[in-house]
Amino acid sequence: MSHKILVAQGGGPTAVINQSLVGVALEARRHAEISSVYGALHGVRGIVDDNLVDLGQETVANLEAVAATPAAALGSTRDKPDRKYCQEIFKVLKAHDVDTFFYIGGNDSSDTLRIVADEAKKAGRPLRAVHIPKTIDNDLMGFDHVPGYPSAARFVAQAFMGANLDNLALKGVYCAVVMGRHAGFLTAAAAMARQYPGDGPHLIYLPERVFVVDKFLAEVKAAFERHGRCIVAASEGIHDEKGEAIITKLMGRTEKDAHGNVQLSGTGALADLLCEEVKNKLGIKRVRGDTFGYLQRSFAGCVSDVDQREAREVGEKAVQYAMNGQVGSVAIRRVGDYAVDYPLVALETVAGKTRVMEDAFIAEGGADVTRAFGDYLRPLLGSDLPAIAHLRGASVEKAGVLIGDST
């Protein structure tokens, strides 16, 4: 039997999502039973708009170059299809005789696949729907980790390595805000920047724990007193005990105007607001903030080779499973220290669910991660991480000059 397959990419781009795409395209070439390999432009939107490209016409050299390129080469979409939208997806797939659909994305994409497969079943035209996971948030249920996360985590670790050194050179408080609204995995990666005693980040705030502004200020004060400086990693999703975002809370405190509230809830605001709190309440002079923003998911030239390999493999395995008549989500399971395999799990395991950080990964007190988290993340970061070094700095005996002495 001959098969036409279609692949699409959805949700936020990652550094390795194209590895999975190319994994599908190249693995398909090994299967004589696959007659066409289509790509949909801009995810499910490209399917309903019938904007497809023929991946069979791509050269191997260009596919390999695309695999090494960050973001989503087919284009992506934020569309979250409802049942009607899924019916339209199915209609286009049917019109093109596509019987196998690979969707590279997060838990929403997995849900879309579930519904489209359901529609196909009802229409008596079974569809092989395989979900290929990706997300920098690492928040898919049933996975040890998700492709895309290790590279973003590496970016965050390298950013904090540099920030720690910069802050050692010019001491003060530094707060950086990291992506991840519900799951703290990416923010937690900041911990991997530590190498020497006293290295930052000294405090890590995750959305899995309630953020109390006064506790934060007390912890910054203590770290500053101890180290003469303080580096903070904060998730964009930090919130109070009622679930209210800290960004909204602090904005309200400095700016009574609701209009300002709306106007300024832009990307850089949380870091600035945390810095203002530290400046105003602790009287520390040099306080700086950064928001890593889109760099952490798209920066060209910061990638984990482990992540690249695994993202490629989930794409290859997806085709193998589908050609074997199996459907579901291609998960990553850790075996040994460190190796992985790729079991297929039911779409329902992943669809619409969000994994957050396990308690075992979060330190007591809630402002740091545990050694277990370090053990979990370290092998994912890949090879050739930058190494840093400090001078040993043997003191020279003071000459005993009295400053102000005119001799």
Q: How far apart are CA 53 and CA 62, in angstroms?
A: 15
Give Cα 134 distance to the centre of its chain. Answer: 9
Please choose, out of 156-164, 200-208, 234-242, 317-325, the segment that lies near a copy of itself by the rule CB under 8 A.
156-164
**Under a CB-based contact definition with an 8 Å cutoff, are residues 136 and 42 in contact?**
no
Burial of 293 (0-12, 13-18, 19+ CB in 10 A): middle
Q: Does 389 bind a copy of itself (CB under 8 A)?
A: yes
DSSP secondary structure code for residue 130 in this structure: E
Q: How far apart are CA 108 and CA 105, in angstroms?
A: 7
Shortest spacing between CB 267 and a copy of itself, in angstroms: 6
DSSP letter for each residue of 29-60: HT-TTEEEEEEETTHHHHHHTT-EEEGGGS-H
Q: Does 268 bind a copy of itself (CB under 8 A)?
A: yes
Question: Three-state DSSP class for 330?
Answer: strand
Please choose, out of 99-107, 256-264, 341-349, 355-363, the segment that lies near a copy of itself by the rule CB under 8 A.
256-264
Shortest spacing between CB 398 and a copy of itself, in angstroms: 5
Q: Does 394 bind a copy of itself (CB under 8 A)?
A: yes
Residue among 264 and 363 whose Cβ is closer to a copy of itself:
264
Positions in 206-235 near a copy of itself (CB under 8 A): none
Q: Does 358 bind a copy of itself (CB under 8 A)?
A: no
Residue among 37 and 345 whose Cβ is closer to a copy of itself:
37
Shortest spacing between CB 228 and a copy of itself, in angstroms: 11
Q: Return the structure tokens found at 41.
A: 């432009």
Residue of 8, 16, 28, 52 interacting with a copy of itself (CB under 8 A): 52
Q: Which residues share a beta bridge with 288?
A: 174
Residue 137 annotated among the catalytic residues of the structure:
yes
Positions in 55-114 near a copy of itself (CB under 8 A): 55, 57-59, 62, 65-66, 68-78, 88, 91-92, 95-96
The enclosing H or E element of 163 equals helix 149-169
**Under a CB-based contact definition with an 8 Å cutoff, are residues 303 and 15 in contact?**
yes
Q: Return the structure tokens found at 360.
A: 């075992």
Backbone angles phi, psi at 345, to 5 degrees: -115, 160
Catalytic residue among 99, 108, 111, 137: 137
Residue of 12, 105, 150, 237 interacting with a copy of itself (CB under 8 A): 12
| C-alpha atoms less than 13 angstroms from C-alpha of 69 in its C-beta half-sphere | 13
Torsion of CA 197, 217, 274, 295, to 10 degrees: 20
Shortest spacing between CB 50 and a copy of itself, in angstroms: 5
Shortest spacing between CB 87 and a copy of itself, in angstroms: 9
Shortest spacing between CB 391 and a copy of itself, in angstroms: 5
Residue among 53 and 363 whose Cβ is closer to a copy of itself:
53
List the Cα angle 74/76/81 in 5-degree steps: 125
Shortest spacing between CB 397 and a copy of itself, in angstroms: 9
Q: Does 48 bind a copy of itself (CB under 8 A)?
A: yes
Count of positions on this chain that bind a copy of itself (CB under 8 A): 97
Residue among 243 and 301 whose Cβ is closer to a copy of itself:
301
Q: Does 276 bind a copy of itself (CB under 8 A)?
A: yes
Positions in 175-204 near a copy of itself (CB under 8 A): 193
Q: How far apart are CA 271 and CA 205, in angstroms?
A: 13
Q: How far apart are CA 31 and CA 66, in angstroms?
A: 21
Residue of 2, 82, 121, 166 interacting with a copy of itself (CB under 8 A): 166
Q: Does 271 bind a copy of itself (CB under 8 A)?
A: yes
Q: Which residues participate in catalysis according to the annotation? A: 137
